[in-house]
Amino acid sequence: MTTRDRILNEALTLFAQNGYDGTSVEEIAEKVGIKAPSLYNHFKGKEDILNALIDMAEARYEEFFGSDRHIGKLPESKEEFIQTAIQKVSFTMCDPMIRKMRKFLVREQFRNERFAAITTKHQLSGIQGMYAKIIEGMMRQGLFKEDDPELLATEVTAPVALWIAKADRQPDCEQACMASVEKHIRHFCDVYMTE
Amino acid sequence: MTTRDRILNEALTLFAQNGYDGTSVEEIAEKVGIKAPSLYNHFKGKEDILNALIDMAEARYEEFFGSDRHIGKLPESKEEFIQTAIQKVSFTMCDPMIRKMRKFLVREQFRNERFAAITTKHQLSGIQGMYAKIIEGMMRQGLFKEDDPELLATEVTAPVALWIAKADRQPDCEQACMASVEKHIRHFCDVYMTE
DNA sequence: TTGACAGACTAATAACCATTAGTTATACTG
DNA sequence: CAGTATAACTAATGGTTATTAGTCTGTCAA
């Protein structure tokens, strides 16, 4: 792993923990194991690190939500839909790297329009669009009752987003949050799926 | 309005705009119209202001979500439920003071357990509990189909919370957000209410 | 009128922070 | 081996920040 990558990594950790303004260049350098001025061999300055991180985040979400590849094959039963969904949520909630990205974004979302747009894509339009496609596909196969896929996507994903946010704030209730998520998804399927 | 209150007011505005670490004591004093050192006649220091603000927020949410008074009389028809809900959302979304409080809280939610708990109360448990009571009451009157009131409360409030958050980031799409909210609430009522 | 007090001011301090300049050592490349 | 680029270091600069000490002014009660 290159020094540049290690800097980005430690910066993300600290920004997620204490925010951009709450983190000093010296802190970052210390975590990397170099002196602060050496950091200027890799980045033009503190803000340059921030921009590199938001570039990363944008690329990641673009790749994840933009292509249809991540949708994979459509679930073929109610139980498969539920299991797939829960697994995705559990991963998203607990994976340390994704959690750091998310906290970083939540903290800095008001910094400028670009941060705002990426946050919206991540929290709302991205996941919603992805699930809209899945639900639309399953509707065509008769697994979901006829309805507006976009609306259903919002209704299933929004509560999950709030519970994930709660788990980010209070990591000790991850299990409780996952239980709520499962209960919610099962209820959603009971209402909107066929049979 | 006392100087102390003006300090709190301007501090909240700046904290919501630029965050706690992004705001200097001098900026606050300048907005109030006094010099920075004079501010120490009213507060022990910068962090003291922060704590006073979070005290305010906690008291406010405690009063708002704790008592049953704010629920008022239960809506007696589908349309009344929808109109009441939309009006509440519109007010919450647009009122400048509430918006500042919300942005302040979102920015500082990771500061410590207290901030985290208050944020959760505001974003999740508070509003959800309030709507659970309303829906439960309306269920008893036969306006809602028999179901778990807590689950329904989450399903109706969570998407709204995300759209309000989006409007906080991108105030130019308040109208679009309100339109989405209305569409969502109407759909929710079509699915879960009787008739 | 006097005295107390709240609350503003000026001035100063000590810490911290991002950044720059200049130097040195190590590791490839011809 | 020579030369060059990379990337680390030390030291210093300029600016900002929170905070404190001490002083001055106006207001109200005795």
Length of chain B: 195
Per-residue model confidence (pLDDT) at position B65: 83
A73 CA from C13 C1′ (Å): 67
Our CA-based measurement puts residue B20 at a distance from the nearest CA of chain A, in whole angstroms, of 9
Asked if A120 has any chain B CB less than 8 Å from its own CB, the reply is yes
Per-residue model confidence (pLDDT) at position B76: 96
Retrieve residue B157's tokens.
């409030």
A45 secondary structure, DSSP code: S
Asked if A110 has any chain B CB less than 8 Å from its own CB, the reply is yes
Distance between CA atoms of residues B167 and B184, nearest Å: 16
Statement: residue A68 has pLDDT above 80: no
A182: closest chain B residue by CA: B151
Q: What is the pLDDT of residues B110-159, one digit of tens each?
A: 999 999 999 999 999 999 999 999 999 999 999 999 999 999 999 999 99
Asked if A98 has any chain B CB less than 8 Å from its own CB, the reply is no
Beta strands in chain A (DSSP E): none
Distance between CA atoms of residues B154 and B132, nearest Å: 8
User: Which of B1 and A151 is assigned the larger pLDDT?
Assistant: A151
Q: What is the pLDDT of residues A100-143, one digit of tens each?
A: 999 999 999 999 999 999 999 999 999 999 999 999 999 999 99
Per-residue model confidence (pLDDT) at position A32: 94
In chain A the first and final C-alpha atoms are separated, in Å, by: 52
Smallest Cβ–Cβ distance between A21 and the set B19, B168, B187 belongs to B19
In this structure, the number of other CB atoms found within 10 A of the CB of residue B152 comes to 24
Q: What is the pLDDT of residues B37-94, one digit of tens each?
A: 999 999 999 999 999 999 999 999 888 887 777 788 899 999 999 999 999 999 999 9
Per-residue model confidence (pLDDT) at position A64: 83
List, in order, residues 6 or more apart from B75 with CB less than 8 Å away. B81, B84, B134, B138, B143
Single-letter residue type at A194 = T
Q: Per-residue confidence at A39, pLDDT binned at 50, 70, 90? A: very high
A125 secondary structure, DSSP code: I
Per-residue model confidence (pLDDT) at position B67: 74
Per-residue model confidence (pLDDT) at position B66: 76
CB-count burial class (<10 Å; 0-12, 13-18, 19+) for B188: buried
B143 secondary structure, DSSP code: S
Per-residue model confidence (pLDDT) at position B71: 80
List, in order, residues 6 or more apart from B163 with CB less than 8 Å away. A124, B93, B177, B178, B180, B181
Q: Which nucleotides of C are covered by protein (CB under 7 A)?
A: 6-12, 16-22
Identify how many contiguous H helices and E strands chain A contains and give both numbers. Answer: 9, 0
Q: Which residues are registered as beta bridge partners of A144?
A: A193
**CATH 1.10.10.60 is held by the domain A1-55:** yes
CB-count burial class (<10 Å; 0-12, 13-18, 19+) for A11: buried
Q: Which nucleotides of D are covered by protein (CB under 7 A)?
A: 6-12, 16-22
Per-residue model confidence (pLDDT) at position A67: 73
A136 CA from D23 C1′ (Å): 75
Residue whose token pair is 């809602």: B144
CB-count burial class (<10 Å; 0-12, 13-18, 19+) for A190: exposed
pTM above 0.85, yes or no: yes
Statement: residue A66 has pLDDT above 80: no
Q: Per-residue confidence at A149, pLDDT binned at 50, 70, 90? A: very high
Per-residue model confidence (pLDDT) at position A71: 79
